[in-house]
Amino acid sequence: MHDFSYYIQLLLAGITVGSLYALIAIGYTMVYGILRLINFAHGDIFMAAGFFMIYISGTTSIYVSLPIVLILTVVLGVAVERAAYRPLREAPRMSVMISAIGVSYLLQNFATYYTGGLARPYPVIPFLTREVTIGSMTVKALTIITPVLTVILVVALVLLIKRTKVGMAMRAVAKDQSTAQLMGIKINNVISITFVIGSFLAAVGSVLYFSNYEQVTPMAGAMPGLKAFVAAVFGGIGSVPGAVLGAYVIGICETFIKANNDYAIFSNAFTFALLILILVLKPNGLFGEKLAEKV
Amino acid sequence: MKQKRYLLYSLVLAALLLAALIAIDNSSLKSSMLSTILQKGAIYALVAVSLNLLNGFTGLFSLGQAGFMLLGAYTYAILTIPVEARSSVYQYFNGGLVQFSLPVVVGLIAAGLVAAFFAFLIGLPVLRLKSDYLAIATLGFAEIIRALIQWNTLGPITNGSNILRKFPTYSSLLFPFAVSAVCIGLVVLMIRSSYGRAFKSIREDEIAAEAMGINLAKHKMMAFCTSSFFAGVGGAMLAMFQQSVQAKYFTSAMTYEILLIVVIGGIGSVTGSIISSFLFVACSEWWLRFLDAQHYIGGVKVPLLRSGFRMVVFSIVIMVIVLFYRRGIMGTNEFSWGAIEKFIKAPFGRKAREEERKKVTTPHE
């Protein structure tokens, strides 16, 4: 039998994973709230951020490359929206979703081509990976930094949405695009800002995630992306606190399942079982708003 | 008169295709790339049509096709491995639990039935969901199935994460074509029946369809199970084609591939899906292969070409189709001799065009 500190350690690891999913999930939930689109490419933007870091840190120091990576990822996210989603704004939803799957396919294939398809080691970021000792346990610094940073970012984001003019515009667009437009809100700008925020958080998540797993592959974004989406649905799509809560539930449960050898293979399946369960029991998620059916 | 002529054309075309297939089957081409493309194309055509039945004709956006193919492939393999081969295949599980083997045809039908049964189970909760939730739920379902099959506790039946092999495969190139043709024929019959019309009305407007007295739950379930049945049969044939089957290859990437085939062919066109399956398989396995190799022209290395470039070009082409030619090759049209005749006649002189105009102005008999 394992002792108490083993479970504490698992819990800490789960919280870290959950925080990372939360950072990605916010991107999904915000885009879905505004465009009603599952941005399948979001996980791949997260992966691309990982590769940006690898290539840029090869030429300059870590601390210079960090902001460059954040900027590049944001540019990529906005570019994807411009190129692949904006032309289809009036198209049926199925077309936009297919376009999103196409972008995801393109990013994965391009990454495979550019990197040769092999796993690349992620650069070591000293202040994240150094070890700290709490009581009797030794953990990486990022185990502590990740949840703290996540909470700070989420609080900042919630304030942005609730208190600022941009946030008000976002909420208006999410509620009703055409009315928002009539009120003088520039929809395209608001959507771009949404993608900026989503990609920025994905980039931050990517730095923390890959510092933890130490390598990046072209497919590295797919699974975390889907799980983050499930987290967003679990919490009620469109709701930022909901997405964060969902991410923690999934991250912690997954870590415990992975730790048990007999059931480790179900760590991914569990997430989807949870998804089906929540969709059946509470289709709007925990904090989701009710959407009236329009005829 | 016209109908008869078109029927004749179709028979001639079918006979020519059959003759070509038999010729390839009996010549040295049988082990060539062409034959591989044809087999895989035929199998993918069936799976693509099955997905199109859902996405294109019923308007249900499902991403679970790989999961149903996986179920079909495993069902077929598990039920048809000869008893004497079982101890070597199931070497880690004492020869496995299943100690009988069924004939090939029964195995294929069982593959479809198992896939359809699971579709029924999963359909009960998820078919109530709206478009994108349904997509993600079916995608998730496929992942769950993949994990279940690889679970060691089920090993005596599924062989865990180990490979399944030594099941009977086909020897003639005609086999996948025959099975696909029969199955696609059945799908076409269904689409043309009153059920098919109900599916299309659900696609156009669920609420209006319901108001017209169409039982939404029943018809959605019917489309979902039928689609899964044929995906299962397709999966079983894919297993036969590859001569082995392993759960880890049936990922969501496979579903995306099939979805892209459907999109390229035209969402809502059976012939479009068939044409684009062959095109897709030929491009990705054969015609665009040269992009993956390094070439030198006059001693100068051609830039960009190296392993993986093929898929990049491929995905760019797909994006272009998705963004600019949303109708795909066929849109929602089907292949018809009338359209081809028109196309051939149109460029030749004014006469044909005038005839056409006359026909429009004179009322139908």
Chain A, window 221-250: residues with a beta carbon less than 8 angstroms from a chain B beta carbon: 222, 226, 229-230, 233
Q: What is the pLDDT of residue B313?
A: 86
Domain assignment of residue A71, given as a range:
4-281
B340 touches chain A (CB under 8 A): no
CB contact (8 A) between residue B147 and residue A268: yes
Say if A87 falls within a structural domain. Answer: yes
Chosen for mutation from B58, B311, B325 (greatest number of chain A CBs closer than 10 Å) is B311
- Å between A153 CA and nearest CA of chain B: 27
Query: Cβ–Cβ of B318/A102 closer than 8 Å?
Result: yes
pLDDT mean over A33-60: 90
Asked whether A23 and A201 are in contact (CB, 8 A), the reply is yes
pLDDT of residue A280: 80
Q: How far is B24 from chain A (nearest CA, A)?
A: 34
Average of per-residue pLDDT across A190-219: 91
Residues 152-211 of A with CB under 8 A from B: none
pLDDT at residue B364 in the model: 47
Question: How far apart, in whole angstroms, are the C-alpha atoms of residue A109 and residue B312?
Answer: 5
Distance (Å) of CA B232 to CA A235, A291, B70: 34, 36, 7
For residues B310 and B284, the answer to whether their CB atoms sit within 8 Å is: yes
Residue A287 lies in a domain: no
Asked if B158 contacts B74 with a C-beta cutoff of 8 angstroms, the reply is yes
Q: Classify residue B170 as exposed, middle or buried by CB count within 10 Å of its CB (0-12, 13-18, 19+).
A: middle
Residue with tokens 């086999």: B175
Q: Does B326 touch chain A (CB under 8 A)?
A: yes
pLDDT of amino acid A291: 55
Ranges of chain B with pLDDT below 70: 1, 299, 346-365
Nearest alpha carbon to residue B241 among B1, B47, B19: B47
> Per the structure, how many domains does chain A have?
1
- What the block records as the tokens of B283 is 């491009």
> Of A38, A103, A268, which has the smallest distance from its Cβ to B136's Cβ?
A38
Is residue A255 within 8 A of residue B140, CB to CB? The reply is no
Nearest-angstrom CA–CA distance, B305 and B291: 5
Beta-carbon count within 10 A of A55 CB: 14
Give a three-class secondary structure readout of B18-34: HHHHHHHHCCHHHHCHH
**Vertex A88: Cα angle to A86 and A94 (nearest 5):** 130
pLDDT for res B129: 79
Q: Are B150 and A265 within 8 A, CB to CB?
A: yes
Return d(Cα B268, Cα B215) in angstroms, integer: 21
Chain B contact for A280 (CB, 8 A cutoff): yes
For chain B, the distance separating the N- and C-terminal CA atoms, rounded to the nearest angstrom, is 14
pLDDT at B346: 65
Complete DSSP assignment for A59-71: TS-HHHHHHHHHH
A94 touches chain B (CB under 8 A): yes
Q: How far is CA A177 from CA A23, A166, A183, A184, A190, in A?
A: 26, 15, 10, 11, 11
Give the residue-averaged pLDDT of A162-174.
Answer: 91
For chain B, give the number of residues. Answer: 365
The reply to whether A247 falls in a domain is yes
Mean pLDDT of chain A: 87
Q: Which has the closest alpha carbon to B231: B82, B102, B99, B122?
A: B122
What CATH code is carried by the domain that includes residue A180?
1.10.3470
Mutate to test the interface with B, among A28, A88, A113, A284 (most CBs of B within 10 A): A113
Among A84, A106, A276, select the one facing B140 at the smallest CB separation: A276
| B28, B185, B211, B222, B321 from B57: Cα distances, Å | 41, 15, 19, 12, 20
CB distance B201 to B208 below 8 Å: yes
Q: B144 and A262 in contact by Cβ < 8 A? A: no
Rg (CA), chain B: 23
DSSP B292: G
H or E stretch including B262?
helix B252-265
Distance from CA of B345 to the nearest CA of A (A): 34
Of the partner residues B144, B308, B326, the one whose CB lies closest to the CB of residue A272: B144
Alpha-helix residue ranges (DSSP H) falling in B193-215: 194-204, 206-211
> Is the backbone of residue B243 left (phi > 0), alpha (psi -120 to 50) or beta?
left
Q: In this predicted structure, what is the pLDDT of residue A293?
A: 47
In A12-31, the residues whose Cβ lies within 8 Å of chain B are: none
In a domain, residue A288? The reply is no
B129 — contact with chain A (CB < 8 Å)? yes
Q: Note whether residue A130 is domain-resident.
A: yes
Distance from CA of A269 to the nearest CA of B (A): 4
B245 pairs with which residues across the strands?
B164
In this predicted structure, the answer to whether residue A1 has a pLDDT above a threshold of 70 is no
What ranges in chain A are assigned the alpha helix state H?
4-35, 42-57, 62-80, 93-115, 126-129, 141-163, 165-175, 177-182, 187-213, 222-235, 240-259, 267-281
Put simply, whether B151 touches A (Cβ < 8 Å) is yes
State the best of A85, A110, A275 to mutate against chain B, taking most chain B CBs within 10 Å. Answer: A275
Find the closest chain B residue to A82 by CA distance. B323
In a domain, A276, yes or no: yes
Q: Give the number of C-alpha atoms closer than 13 A to the C-alpha of residue B298, restricted to the C-beta side.
A: 0
Would you say A128 and B338 are in contact if contact means Cβ atoms under 8 Å apart?
A: no
